[in-house]
Amino acid sequence: MKRYLVIVDGRVQGVGFRFFCVRHAQLRGVTGSVRNLDNGMVEIFVQGNEENINLFLMDIQKGDKFIRVDDMSVKKLNVVDNEREFTYKW
């Protein structure tokens, strides 16, 4: 089990990116949260097994016709016990 803080830059606000993250997190079986930052970037906390996290990160990096990820920074964190879902925050 691993946990990461991911900061995403690009066209990631106002294009359904948080919903996109929640949907792909559910598909990949990872937990955590996603929220917009005041600087136009998006903050993601993601937790799960390494393979599923990597698949999730590849999904969001690809984006879709509206979402464009220009840069992602990833920092390892301590695992949060008993986290059960992936949510988006306002």
Active site residues: 18, 36
- How far apart, in whole angstroms, are the C-alpha atoms of residue 47 and residue 84? 10
- How far apart, in whole angstroms, are the C-alpha atoms of residue 66 and residue 86? 22
- What letter represents residue 27's amino acid? L
Name the token pair of 84.
């059960």
